[in-house]
């Protein structure tokens, strides 16, 4: 609506939409403003931006479904200025891409101090921690959320959320033997593996109260192992939204804030809600703390996270069903019950099986996705701009599955202990920074 320099000129007339990725003149997702005068080295500028965001019905990353709202990618976000040598740039310049169906995002770190005003009956979860709230005379309430050292801000609101808050106490989760074990593997002192206590806030769908314990155990497991392996989760809070079924907003990650989902009655030995919860929390490390460019090199977060969440699943959930068998045939999904087979008198003659009609079939995380990879391996190179992949399945394969398999293969060559040191060294060296593929390869060679 309006943009101006605080205490200075109005810049609204200078704004222009640009299309750096595909020359699509109809695209209005990147705006450029040439300032009246340059900002000098170490100088500052303060801008006041008035804007209106119109939320769509919930699709993929943002929107509403009934009285539920997920509000993400909703404000004008500053592009990333990359200096000479950063991410292999020859000279400094802006990196700012259009919004694409097949890509995620890229932004720089900063401080978010946000006031959110909603109807007073709405429950709100958001990036950061809550510093306070105030009731307004018009029947609304304003919440203040604050967080340093993050590169995005998202929030959710609904009058139907059930709030369940529990503390992750790392000393109750990590044993002395585990500290010694990983200190030896990673070649660090045990006190360097100290984690931090975190307030974990779940906003649950009313019908999912029965799954709360599984949700919390999943995020506690992820917080423990990601922390031991790569470094402590550095924030005071973690907010997790259990989204309404069919709201199209599940399974997204934002700093200190993720969305997850499950079924009304999930199978006891399946990985719902554990799989998605571990994966989305893992993005706090791969995407959140190590801020790769998701537009150009999605493998550095989605693929690294696929590898890492698989390692967590291996150790925290060694017995889980990948699918079920019924009468010897694979059945999609997971059963929450076991039905004994009827004892037909002709069972031995016709080969009707005895035992449960549904049986759990396990597939190790190490080999999960290999069939999908082999079907699509020739479609695209692993590393390329997200919007240039052949199609959605190719983007998914090369950003997730293929990378998980590749890192598992590298682990087999190097050995698990060396690979653990590679991953920790890379993560620690690039926290709050923007690495690229060459930077990871350099760390592998260094370690």
Taking the CB of residue 148, how many other CB atoms lie within 10 A of it?
12
Q: How far apart are CA 323 and CA 49, in angstroms?
A: 51
CA separation for the pair 389, 297 (Å, rounded): 12
In 3D space, the residue among 257, 304, 292 whose CA is nearest the CA of residue 431 turns out to be 292
- Predicted confidence (pLDDT) per residue in 294-323, tens digit: 999 999 999 999 999 999 999 999 877 665
Burial of 204 (0-12, 13-18, 19+ CB in 10 A): buried
How many angstroms separate the CA atoms of 205 and 353, rounded?
40
The model's pTM = 0.91
Output DSSP code: residue 244: P
Neighbours of 349 (CB within 10 A): 8
CA pair distance 20, 79, nearest whole angstrom: 12
Q: How many domains does the chain have?
A: 1
**Percent of residues in the chain assigned helix, strand, coil, to nearest 5:** 30, 25, 45
Nearest in space to 267 (alpha carbons), one of 323, 313, 218: 323
Is 348 within the bounds of a domain?
yes
In a domain, 395, yes or no: no
Alpha carbons within 13 angstroms on the beta-carbon side of residue 276 total 19
* Integer angstrom CA distances of residue 277 from 162, 250, 253, 400, 405: 18, 10, 10, 16, 21
Kindly give the confidence (pLDDT) of every residue in the chain, 447 residues in length, as a single tens digit, with 9 standing for 90 and above: 899 999 999 999 999 999 999 999 999 999 999 999 999 989 999 999 999 999 999 987 789 999 999 999 999 999 999 999 999 899 999 999 999 988 999 999 999 999 999 999 999 999 999 999 999 999 999 999 999 999 999 999 999 999 999 999 999 999 999 999 999 999 999 999 999 999 999 999 999 999 999 999 999 999 999 999 999 999 999 999 999 988 888 899 999 999 999 877 776 777 889 999 999 999 999 999 999 999 999 999 999 999 999 999 999 998 776 655 555 555 555 444 444 444 444 444 444 444 455 566 666 666 667 777 777 777 789 999 999 999 988 999 999 999 999 999 999 999 999 999 999 999 999 999 999 999 999 999 999
The Cβ of residue 373 has, within 10 Å, a number of other Cβ atoms equal to 17
Kindly state whether residue 257 falls inside one of the protein's structural domains.
no
**Domain of residue 348, residue span:** 323-361
> Quick check: is 337 in a domain?
yes
Q: What's the distance, CA 353 to chain centroid?
A: 43
Is 327 contained in some domain?
A: yes
**The tokens 């009956």 sit on which residue?**
121
Domain membership flag for residue 262 = no
Q: How many whole angstroms separate alpha carbon 295 and alpha carbon 99? A: 9
Distance from C-alpha of 299 to C-alpha of 104, rounded to nearest angstrom = 11
Q: Is residue 336 part of a domain?
A: yes
Q: What is the largest CA-CA distance in the chain?
A: 91
Q: Evaluate whether residue 349 is within a structural domain.
A: yes
State whether residue 196 is helix, strand or coil. coil
Strands 68-71, 155-158: pairing is antiparallel
């Amino acid at each position: 609506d309006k943009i101006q320099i605080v205490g200075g000129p109005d810049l609204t007339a200078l704004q222009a939409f640009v299309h750096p990725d595909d020359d699509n003149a109809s695209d209005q997702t990147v705006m450029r403003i040439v300032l009246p005068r340059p900002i000098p080295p170490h100088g500052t500028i303060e801008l006041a931006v008035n804007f209106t965001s119109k939320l769509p019905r919930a699709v993929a990353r943002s929107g509403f479904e009934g009285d539920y709202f997920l509000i993400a990618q909703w404000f004008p976000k500053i592009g990333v200025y990359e200096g000479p040598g950063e991410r292999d740039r020859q000279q400094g310049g802006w990196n700012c891409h259009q919004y694409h169906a097949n890509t995620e995002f890229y932004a720089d770190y900063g401080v978010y101090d946000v006031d959110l005003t909603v109807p007073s009956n709405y429950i709100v979860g958001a990036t950061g921690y809550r510093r306070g709230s105030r009731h307004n005379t018009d029947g609304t309430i304003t919440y203040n959320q604050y967080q340093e050292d993050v590169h995005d801000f998202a929030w959710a609101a609904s009058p139907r959320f059930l709030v369940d808050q529990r503390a992750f106490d790392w000393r109750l989760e990590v044993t002395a033997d585990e500290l010694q074990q990983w200190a030896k593997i990673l070649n660090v002192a045990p006190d360097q593996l100290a984690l931090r206590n975190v307030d974990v806030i779940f906003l649950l769908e009313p019908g999912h109260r029965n799954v709360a314990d599984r949700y919390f155990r999943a995020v506690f497991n992820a917080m423990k192992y990601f922390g031991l392996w790569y470094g402590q989760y550095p924030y005071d809070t973690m907010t997790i939204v259990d989204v309404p079924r069919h709201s199209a907003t599940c399974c997204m990650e934002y700093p200190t804030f993720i969305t997850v989902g499950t079924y009304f009655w999930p199978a006891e030995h399946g990985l719902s809600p554990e799989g998605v919860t571990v994966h989305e929390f893992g993005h706090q490390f791969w995407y959140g703390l190590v801020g790769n460019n998701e537009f150009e090199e999605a493998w550095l977060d989605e693929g690294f996270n696929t590898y890492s969440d698989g390692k967590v699943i291996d150790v925290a959930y060694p017995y889980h069903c990948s699918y079920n068998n019924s009468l010897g045939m694979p059945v999609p999904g997971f059963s929450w019950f076991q039905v004994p087979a009827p004892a037909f008198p002709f069972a031995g003659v016709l080969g009707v099986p005895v035992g449960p009609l549904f049986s759990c079939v396990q597939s190790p995380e190490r080999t999960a996705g290999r069939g999908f990879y082999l079907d699509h391996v020739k479609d695209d190179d692993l590393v390329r701009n997200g919007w240039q992949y052949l199609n959605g399945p190719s983007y998914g394969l090369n950003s997730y599955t293929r990378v998980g398999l590749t890192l598992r293969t590298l682990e087999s060559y190097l050995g698990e202990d060396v690979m653990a040191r590679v991953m920790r060294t890379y993560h620690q060296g690039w926290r709050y920074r923007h690495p690229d593929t060459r930077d990871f390869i350099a760390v592998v060679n260094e370690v």
